[in-house]
Every structure is written in C-alpha cells, then in structure tokens.
Copies of this chain bind each other. A is one copy, B any other.
Amino acid sequence: MEVKEITNRDVDFAKWYTDVCKKADLVDYSLVKGSMIIRPLGYAIWEQMQSVLDQKFKETGHENVQMPMFIPESLLNIEKEHVEGFAPEVAWVTYGGKEKLEERMCVRPTSETLFCEHFKKIIHSYRDLPLLYNQWCTIVRWEKTTRPFLRSREILWQEGHTMHATKEEAKAETLRMFNIYKDFQEEYLAMPVITGKKTEKEKFAGAEETYTIEAMMYDGYALQNGTSHYFGQHFAKTFGIEFVNKDNKLETPYQTSWGVTTRMIGGLIMTHGDNNGLVLPPKIAPWKVIIIPIGDVTEKLTDIEKQLKENNITYKIDNSNKTPGFKFAEAEVKGYPIRLELGARDLENNEVTLVRRDTLEKIKVSFEDTLKTIQELLVTIQQDMYDRAKARRDSMIYDVNDYETLKDYAINKPGFMKVNWCGSEECENKIKEDTTLKTRCLIENEKVDGNCIVCGKKATTKVYLGKQY
C-alpha cells in the first residue's frame, strides 16, 4: 500500500491524485469498503475549514444543533421526490443487538426530514422565525465507486437548515450562504469558482432552486463543491409546519438548506497540487511553515520560534533523525506553504533559507528580515496561487456554438463549455448521452442571442457544460 513515487499528473491524473492523498498522509484506506480513514494532516485541514466557516455561520446568526443520525423509513418516505432521490443510496439498519427492528432506519444521507419533524414541534409563531440552524456531522450515501474525499460512503459535512416567515427572506438566505461558500473558497482555498443555478434536472431532490459552486480541477473536470437550496414551502407543507403571523393568521414558512463537505479537500489537492505532492494555500494550511534544522542550531531556532509564536504563525519543526534531503521531500509532499532551512552555514552567514512550496523558489534572507519576509510571502503565495488557478481555469473555458465542435471538444479539450440552450431536458439528456458532458449551472448575467446547440430552437439561456467528479 505504501506509495514510493508520485505518478506524473500529466500522465495519469487519477493515479496522481490517489498517490498524493496517500503519500501526503491525508487518508488511508480501511477494511470498510468505500469509507476512508482521515489521517492527521487531512483532518487538520478539515478543522481549519470548519473553524473559518463555523465562525461565519455564527456571525450571521446561525446556531449549531445535533439531530439523530438515523431516519425511520416512514419519515424518509414522507416527501416523495426526496425519498426517490435518496432511498437507492442509503445504508439500512435492521437489527439492534439481537433484535430485529420493527421499522428499519437508514443512516442519514441528509437531514431535511429530521429537521422538518423538529421544526413542526418548535415553530408556532412569527416570533420563532427566522430559525437558523446548522449541523456538523457525518452522512452516509451508499456509492458504488468511491474516491478519497471526492466520493465516499461516509462524508463529513455541515448542513444548514433554516425557516423564514417570507419567501424574500428565505431566498436572501439561500444566496447569503451561497456567497459565504463562494467567498470562502476563493479567499481561503484560492480556488476560483463558477456559480449559478442548477437546471431542473440537476437540482436537489425536493428543492425549488439549487445554487451550485463549481470549481475546475487541473484536468479540466468540474467539482461541485457546495450547494445552497431554496425549498419554498414544499417540505413545510408536506410536514404540516405552520406559524401564526402578526395578523394572527396561520401561514406556512419558507425553507432553505445548504452544505459543504470534505470534498473541498479533494478540490484543494486537484487545483493546487503538483508532481511533488500537495500545495496548501497559506490561509487554510494548518501549519504555515515547516522548519528543518540541520545540525545544532538550537539558539537561533528558539529565537525564530519565538517570533513566529508572537505573530500567530503556526509552524512545525522536523526534528526526526532522517536526512535533510528526505525531510525536504516530505515537506514538499505535505504541502507546507513555506519551508525554512537553518544550518551551520546559514548561521555563519547570519541568514536562513526560505523555500516557497508553490514555486519551489529558494530565498536567502537575513535573520533580521526573516519574520517580515515570511509574513509577506504568505500573502504573496496565497494571491499567486489564486491567480495561477484562475488563469488556468479561464484558459479552459470555451464558447462553443455548434454541436460537432462540442462533441470534438468533449474528447479533445477538457474544460467548461459555454453553450446556448433551449432549456428542455431532452436536449440536456442528449448532450449527456453524446458527450458525457453535464450541465454545471445556468449563466445568468450574459445576453442570450442564438439557438440551442442541440435542437436549433431559440435559446432561452446559456449554460456551462463540463465533465464531473
């Protein structure tokens, strides 16, 4: 199982990806098919993500709660579209100890039904609204083929569930949380993202509108990396949730839900990683600096540590008895944004060596300038990583106007295609059958002028197409 070398990402991207996951000690496989073990570095990245997002959720008035992990079959069955979307991929618990359960229960694949059942009990008046809840938990979806972080049977995620007195407020909430995801991924993960509404066919089972965040991976494939749903009164009516409004009349509230998962870690890897391994953007890296002392440099090291601590720059020191060369390679595989080398010769010259992980550039700086340079580099690296990812992404977005070109590009030009579309599911299905491209999201701010790329009828919208993880 041990990975000695990382496969070249331009030769076999899929193998490169699993090599990086393994060699950077992000995950390990387990005896449970389709479930992964998240190792310390992988989990530390998730904790960073949780910490930033949780703060943003709380700042916007959301409260964390914890629902049961099981859903009785009768509860899952209450909402028809929802059960059709999820029942084929749930894990069923049928025995408790030696006793067969009277009613089987699934492990939650998502928790709309559990939240609705609870909301029904606690919402009575307009004074109880808005109700802004979030839950950090593990969900289970019984996927056939799995890949670490991207598609696994157990998924760590957060799911927000909110209820509102008016349609306008619920729609605003859907977009507000969507924008928090977008800003987080661009600012912290240095991942440029494309955003918009899903088509009718691709939206969440039971939602009126699904907004999606689509990131483009190094290989041109799309990663759906967060969704925010507006449910209208759909679930609320099904579950009989009502409140007394200010005029003392009964009304049905409006609902949203929104979630992101550990899949974002997969996105980080496939956006920024290179042939030496993981490359972490400074703002999400659990440790910004890896220090590699060579020989006895204790005194100077203590001084550097003190400066980093005082300035809240997290770091690790590799004090193991491996060779410097091995340590350098390992620091690269694990993606620390900055490597700080400090050896006897550096001491003589009154300097340290800094190595940028994103460019592998070596920089010699004097002791006096070390802290300042590290602080500046962390900002520069974050921005450069975003800019490079965006330039590459933009170079792989194509305006495509005829169906033959689309079929050609689907094979020869990985990336996103912008096409005119009539809006019919028939044409959407035909594209998928002919090219394996799927609609990513509707393009809302561009003038539509032309005909559907499939049927030739007047287009009603533009849409992004792409192959997906």
CB-CB < 8 A to A1: which residues of B? Answer: 121
Q: How long is the Cα–Cα vector from A133 to B28 in the complex, in angstroms?
A: 15
Residues of chain B contacted by A133 (CB below 8 angstroms): 40
Contacts of A36 in B (CB 8 A): 68
A304 touches B (CB below 8 Å): no
* Chain A interface extent, by class: 35 or more
Q: How many copies does the complex hold?
A: 2
Residue interface mask A104-125, B partner, CB < 8 A = 1 = 1101000000100110011000
With A121-B28, A122-B28, A137-B138 already in contact, the answer to whether A66 and B37 are too (CB < 8 A) is yes
**B30, A156: Cβ atoms closer than 8 Å:** no
Q: Measured between C-beta atoms, what is the minimum distance from A304 to chain B in Å?
A: 21
Q: Chain B residues near A72: list those with CB within 8 A.
A: 31-32
Task: Identify 19 residue pairs between A and B in the complex whose beta-carbon atoms are under 8 Å apart, listed by A's number.
Answer: A28-B118, A30-B118, A31-B72, A32-B71, A37-B67, A44-B64, A46-B66, A47-B64, A69-B154, A70-B91, A70-B154, A87-B97, A90-B97, A92-B93, A92-B95, A93-B93, A93-B94, A95-B104, A137-B138
A142–B65 Cα distance when bound, in Å, is: 22
**Across the two chains, which residue of chain B brings its CB closest to A25?**
B122
Residues B37 and A321 in contact, CB atoms below 8 Å apart: no
Q: Is A89 in the interface zone, CB < 8 Å from B?
A: yes
Instruction: Indicate whether A75 reaches chain B with its CB closer than 8 angstroms.
Output: yes
**Chain B residue contacts of A114, Cβ below 8 A:** 30, 37
> Does residue A88 face the partner (Cβ distance < 8 Å to B)?
yes
Q: How far is the CA of A206 from the CA of B30 in the complex (A)?
A: 22
Is A208 an interface residue when CB atoms closer than 8 A count as contact? Answer: no
Interface centre among A39, A68, A138 (most CB of B within 10 A): A68
Which residues of B are found within 8 Å of A93, using beta-carbon distances? 91-94, 107
| B40, B47, B321: the one within 8 Å of A127 (CB) | B321
Whether a CB of chain B sits under 8 angstroms from the CB of A224 is no
Known: A91-B96, A321-B127. Contact between A154 and B65, CB under 8 A?
no
Tell yes or no: A236 within 8 A of B by CB: no
The answer to whether B65 and A43 touch across the interface, beta carbons within 8 angstroms, is yes
Say if the beta carbon of A4 comes within 8 Å of chain B: no
Closest CB of chain B to A143's CB: distance in Å? 9
- Extra contacts, 13 of them, besides A69-B138, A90-B96 (Cβ < 8 A), are A1-B121, A28-B122, A30-B68, A30-B118, A31-B72, A31-B117, A43-B63, A43-B66, A44-B64, A69-B107, A88-B98, A92-B93, A96-B153
Q: Find A65's partner among B38, B87, B127, B137 (CB 8 Å cutoff).
A: B38
| Also in contact, A30 and B117, with CB within 8 A (given A92-B94, A97-B88, A107-B93) | yes
A320 within 8 Å of B by Cβ? yes
Instruction: Determine if B31 and A75 form an interchain contact, defined as CB atoms under 8 angstroms apart.
Output: yes
The interface residues of chain B lying within 8 Å CB-to-CB of A38 are: 65-66
Q: Which residues of B contact A32 (CB under 8 A)?
A: 68, 70-72, 105
Asked if A228 is at the interface (CB within 8 A of a chain B CB), the reply is: no
CB distance from A121 to the nearest CB of B (A): 7
Binary CB contact string for chain A from 19 to 56 against chain B (1 if under 8 A, 0 otherwise): 00000000010111001111110011011000000000
Among A349-385, those with CB < 8 Å from B are none
User: Closest residue of chain B to A114, judged by CB?
Assistant: B30
What CA separation (Å) do A142 and B99 show in the bound complex?
Answer: 10
Q: Which residue in chain B gives the minimum CB-CB distance to A101?
A: B91
Distance (whole angstroms) from the CB of A284 to the closest CB of chain B: 16
Query: Chain B contacts of A47 at CB under 8 A?
Result: 64
Least CB separation from A32: chain B residue: B68
For the complex, what is the distance from the CA of A93 to the CA of B95, rounded to whole Å?
7
Q: Which residues does chain B contribute within 8 Å of A118, judged by CB atoms?
A: 28, 30, 37
- Measured between C-beta atoms, what is the minimum distance from A126 to chain B in Å? 11
Docked Cα-Cα span, A118 to B67, in Å, equals 29
Among A65, A114, A138, max chain B CB count under 10 A is at A65
B64 touching A43 by the CB < 8 A rule?
yes
> What 1/0 mask marks residues of chain A from 385 to 405 whose CB sits below 8 Å from any chain B CB?
000000000000000000000
- A90 to B38 Cα, complex, angstroms: 23
The 10 closest A-B pairs by CB, nearest first: A35-B68, A40-B63, A96-B142, A92-B95, A38-B66, A32-B68, A94-B94, A91-B93, A88-B97, A97-B142
Rounded to whole angstroms, the CA-CA distance of A30 and B116 in the bound complex is 11
Chain B residues, CB < 8 A from A127: 320-321
